[in-house]
Amino acid sequence: MTNNADMYDVAVVGGGPAGLAAAVSAHDAGAKRVVVLERDVRAGGILLQCIHNGFGLHHFGEELTGPEYALRFVKQAEERGIEVKTSTMVVSMDEGGKGGKDGGHIITAMSASEGLIEIAARAVVFSTGCRERTRGALMIAGTRPAGVLTAGAAQHFVNIDGYLPGRKIVILGSGDIGLIMARRLTLEGCEVKLVCEVMPRAAGLARNMTQCLENFNIPLLLSTTVIKIHGDSRVTGVTIAKVDEKLRPIAGTEEYIECDTLLLSVGLIPENEVCAASGVALDARTKGPLVNQCMETVVKGVFACGNAVHVHDLVDFVTEESLLAGKCAAEYALSLSASKGAANEKNKTVSVHVEAGEGVNAIVPQRLDIAAGGNIPQGEGKARIMFRALDIFRNVTIKASFGGAVIAQRRAAVVRPGEMQTLEVPLEALSKGMAGESSADGGGAANGGVQTGVTISIETRGDK
Amino acid sequence: MTQSMTCIVCPMGCQLSVSKDEGGNITVTGNTCPRGDKYARKELTCPTRTLTCTVKVTGGVRPLVAAKSNKEVPKERLLDCMSIVRRAAVQAPVKQGDVLAADILGTGADVIATEDVSSA
**pLDDT band for position A5 (cuts 50, 70, 90):** low
A38-53 pLDDT tens trace: 999 999 999 999 999 9
Option in A52, A54, A189 nearest B11 (CB)? A54
Q: What's the mean pLDDT in A283-305?
A: 96
Distance from CA of A374 to the nearest CA of B (A): 40
pLDDT recorded at residue A347: 62
Contacts B84 to A, Cβ<8 Å: none
ipTM of predicted assembly, 2 dp: 0.96
**pLDDT band for position A65 (cuts 50, 70, 90):** very high
Ordered DSSP codes for B21-87: -TT--EEEES-SSHHHHHHHHHHHHS-EE--EEEEEEESBSSSEEEEEESS-EEGGGHHHHHHHHHH
Whether residues B114 and A68 touch (CB distance < 8 A) is answered with yes
Average pLDDT of every residue of chain A: 90
- Interatomic CA distance for residues B39 and A281, integer angstroms: 47
Please return the burial class of B59, using the count of CB atoms within 10 Å of its CB with bins 0-12, 13-18 and 19+: middle
A335 against A337, higher pLDDT? A335
- Percentage of chain A exceeding pLDDT 90: 78
- Quote the pTM value: 0.93
Interface test mutation site (partner A, options B35, B52, B100, B117, max chain A beta carbons within 10 A): B52
pLDDT recorded at residue A143: 83
| Strand order from edge to edge, sheet including A360-364 | A360-364, A382-389, A421-426
- Interatomic CA distance for residues A61 and A55, integer angstroms: 10
A141-185 pLDDT tens trace: 888 899 999 999 999 999 999 999 999 999 999 999 999 999 999
Q: State yes or no: pLDDT of A438 exceeds 80.
A: no
Contacts B66 to A, Cβ<8 Å: 48, 51, 65-67, 159
Whether residues A53 and B56 touch (CB distance < 8 A) is answered with no
Nearest residue of chain B to residue A63 (CA atoms): B10
pLDDT recorded at residue A208: 94
**pLDDT band for position A446 (cuts 50, 70, 90):** very low
Q: What's the mean pLDDT in A65-83?
A: 98
pLDDT recorded at residue A449: 31
- At A350, is the secondary structure helix, strand, or coil? strand
Q: State yes or no: pLDDT of A134 exceeds 90.
A: no
**pLDDT band for position A223 (cuts 50, 70, 90):** very high
Cβ atoms B74, B48 nearer than 8 A = yes
Cβ atoms B76, B108 nearer than 8 A = no
Q: State yes or no: pLDDT of A257 exceeds 80.
A: yes
Whether residues A51 and B75 touch (CB distance < 8 A) is answered with no
**pLDDT band for position A442 (cuts 50, 70, 90):** very low
B12-61 pLDDT tens trace: 889 999 998 888 899 999 999 999 999 999 999 999 999 999 999 999 99
A361-401 pLDDT tens trace: 999 999 999 876 544 444 568 899 999 999 999 999 999 99
- At A424, is the secondary structure helix, strand, or coil? strand
Contacts A159 to B, Cβ<8 Å: 54, 64, 66
Distance from CA of A70 to the nearest CA of B (A): 9
- At A118, is the secondary structure helix, strand, or coil? strand
Q: State yes or no: pLDDT of A1 exceeds 70.
A: no
- Interatomic CA distance for residues A431 and A437, integer angstroms: 10
Whether residues B10 and A207 touch (CB distance < 8 A) is answered with yes
Q: What's the mean pLDDT in A257-263?
A: 98
**pLDDT band for position A287 (cuts 50, 70, 90):** very high
Option in A52, A161, A209 nearest B52 (CB)? A52
**pLDDT band for position A37 (cuts 50, 70, 90):** very high
End-to-end CA distance of chain B, in Å?
58
Cβ atoms A167, A258 nearer than 8 A = no
Q: Dihedral sign, CA of A34, A39, A43, A47? A: negative
A vs B, Cβ pairs < 8 A, gives 79
Distances (CA, A) of A315 to A10, A12, A24, B32, B91: 22, 18, 16, 22, 31
Whether residues B49 and A52 touch (CB distance < 8 A) is answered with no
Q: State yes or no: pLDDT of A439 exceeds 50.
A: no
pLDDT recorded at residue A447: 38
- Interatomic CA distance for residues A464 and A451, integer angstroms: 31
Looking at residue A314, its amino acid is L
Interacting residues of A130 by C-beta distance below 8 A, sequence separation 6+: A268, A269, A270, A271, A307, A308, A311
Phi and psi dihedrals of A268, rounded to 5? Answer: -120, 145
pLDDT recorded at residue A348: 72
Option in A54, A71, A160 nearest B96 (CB)? A71
A325-335 pLDDT tens trace: 999 999 999 99
Q: State yes or no: pLDDT of A464 exceeds 50.
A: no
B52-92 pLDDT tens trace: 999 999 999 999 999 999 999 999 999 999 999 999 999 99
Cβ atoms A295, A304 nearer than 8 A = yes
**Lowest-confidence pick of A2-6, A245-249, A406-410:** A2-6
A77-126 pLDDT tens trace: 999 999 999 999 999 999 987 776 667 999 999 999 999 999 999 999 99
A278 against A98, higher pLDDT? A278
Distance from CA of A250 to the nearest CA of B (A): 32
